Amino acid sequence: MSTSPKSPDSVLSIEVELQSEKASALRRVALRLESLLAELQETEQALRGLSGAARARFVERHRELRAEAEKQRWYLIVQREAMGLRHHGDIYELYRLPNAVE
């Protein structure tokens, strides 16, 4: 039995596939964000006790990581919006960005 492109079964199949892709994209962005936050934490720990040029390199790396994490968190919110999720307070709480370091 074949289904025509406009049959309810084919439309449902396409919708299921689209939702699956959205969920996969959401997961990829969340994993990337989690990785960046972990690296930020490692960088902050490495900063303790450093001074001079070594500290400056780690401060710059922290700035870059934080900017990328902020962008990835925004991507996560955009993905959630695409899935119909409109409230993002939990995202800001769960994926809290550390303060900038000087």
Instruction: Tell whether 99 is covered by a domain.
Output: no
Q: Is the pLDDT of residue 86 over 80?
A: yes
Residue 91 CA to residue 93 CA, distance in Å, equals 5
**Tell me: the pLDDT tens digits for 5-34?**
567 777 788 888 888 888 899 999 999 999
Residue 1 lies inside a defined structural domain of this protein: no
In a domain, 100, yes or no: no
What is the domain count for the chain? 1
Query: Please, which pLDDT band fits residue 102 given cuts at 50, 70 and 90?
Result: confident
Domain, as residue range, for 36: 8-94
- Nearest CA among 39, 88, 13 for reference residue 4: 13
Q: What is the pLDDT of residue 2?
A: 52
Q: Is residue 53 part of a domain?
A: yes
pLDDT for 9 equals 78
Provide the 8-state DSSP code for 51.
Answer: -
Q: Quick check: is 3 in a domain?
A: no
| pLDDT band (50, 70, 90) for residue 83 | confident
pLDDT tens column, 31-50: 999 999 999 999 999 999 89
Q: Distance (Å, rounded) from C-alpha 60 to C-alpha 28?
A: 26
Return the percentage of the chain with pLDDT > 70, whole number: 94
